[in-house]
Amino acid sequence: MAIHPIDYRYGSEEMKRIWDEENKLQKLLDVEAALARAHAQLGNIPEESAKIISERANTNWVKVERVNEIEEEIHHDIMAVVKALSEVCGEHGKYIHLGATSNDIIDTANALLIKESLEIVLKDLKELRTILKSLAKEHKYTVCIGRTHGQHAVPTTYGMKFAIWLDETQRHIERIEEAKKRILVGQMSGAVGTMASFGEMGLKIQELVMEDLGLKSALISNQIIQRDVYAELMSILAIIASTLDKIALEIRNLQRTEILEISEPFGKKQVGSSTMPHKRNPIRSEKISGLARVIYSNVIPALLNNSLWHERDLTNSSVERVILPETFVLLDEMLKNMKKVLLGLEFFPENIKKNLYLTKNLIMAEPLMLKLTEKGMGRQEAHELVRRLAMKAFKENRDLLEVLSESKEAREYLTDDDLASLKPENYIGMAPRIVDNVIAYVEEKEKTEES
């Protein structure tokens, strides 16, 4: 019976298959098989035994149900795997798990699971990057009102919004690629990390196992890979979630009835409310923001897991059974929903323009102040004059430029042509070039990835 929503509601089948019980068992078996091959290569066990162990270290031979039966009896998860594998390997089973401790198997298997999961996250991030790049190009000159403190500030462009998210997405791709060398590490170091159980061949055995599995060897560990590694991983995943939360929050705000500049897609048969048939709720964006909160909360236990008793205790284990699959599956859900939202994003140009002029040119106070300064008025004097005129325009519900045209102080410096040039569409500064710079940077990174 499914209980947690990730079982039936969230995440792709591709991501969930990585963390399901059978694939997790397979990764444990992969590590045990790699250890047997390393021992055989060094002459510690017969090559035939390593061959049999490798052939049968898979879930066609070792069943989840049997492992669970054994664990129910002995109350030890890894020994249950070892016993189940030994059962199907006959006399060769005596060489399984030789010299290893449980977390040699668990932590190395986790690295394999994390590796597979990060590949899906990277694939989604790169697809998200492509979508954002296209939107940034398309809307490079779509002028809109910028908002600070929730108030109208000065004009910006939708190209700037998308380019900011694009740049941030590119950093996430780089973060993951850069962190892989620290995160994708395994160990084969025995109890408390001294490799005493492997004798003089300890370092070589670890090297062979990790080369076999495509992982990097931990430089040093005690009985576990140090959990700052997992804390870094969880922090990176949470930072990615925060970007998706940021994008979703902006879309939700811009979809407000009073603003309605953009909207997430709404299907022909989609129902917005059980009682209000007119509703077009931003449910995908809201889900993204909601799931981000769960991922944020998972960072705290990951940090706490780095502080264990002496060479280790077991307080991290139960936590990681929850936070690793949960975080990857929920982030997967968020990424795939964000791609759908952005691909179907609906624009309302008439509302974008209406909001740009909503304050009757009060948003032109800054360029007006700068124009007065350019014409010879002192900067502080110009600021105070425009402030007074803006407050007057606001109080009287009039256009700022109309109020300005009546000001003798201002008209000593400004001509009719100066006033005519003060349009929101003319005050976007270097926005198009900034967007181009971001796109050029990202495209250069894409070329590097391909080469």
Q: Which of 186, 153, 261, 253 is nearest to 34 (CA)?
A: 186
Q: Which of 10, 113, 115, 24 is nearest to 335 (CA)?
A: 10
Return the sign of the alpha-carbon dihedral for residues 43, 45, 51, 56.
negative
Question: Hey, what are 69's tokens?
Answer: 């039966």
Q: Give the pairing type, strands 346-347 and 262-263.
A: antiparallel
Q: What are the CA-CA distances from residue 67 to residues 34, 62, 74, 77, 249 (Å)?
A: 20, 8, 11, 8, 45
Query: How far apart, in whole angstroms, are the C-alpha atoms of residue 199 and residue 279?
Result: 70
Query: How far apart, in whole angstroms, are the C-alpha atoms of residue 342 and residue 132?
Result: 8
User: Would you please indicate which residues are annotated as catalytic (active-site) residues?
Assistant: 149, 273
- Partners of 186 in beta bridges: 217
Q: Which of 354, 175, 369 is nearest to 258 (CA)?
A: 354
Question: Phi and psi at residue 151, in whole multiples of 5°?
Answer: -110, 155
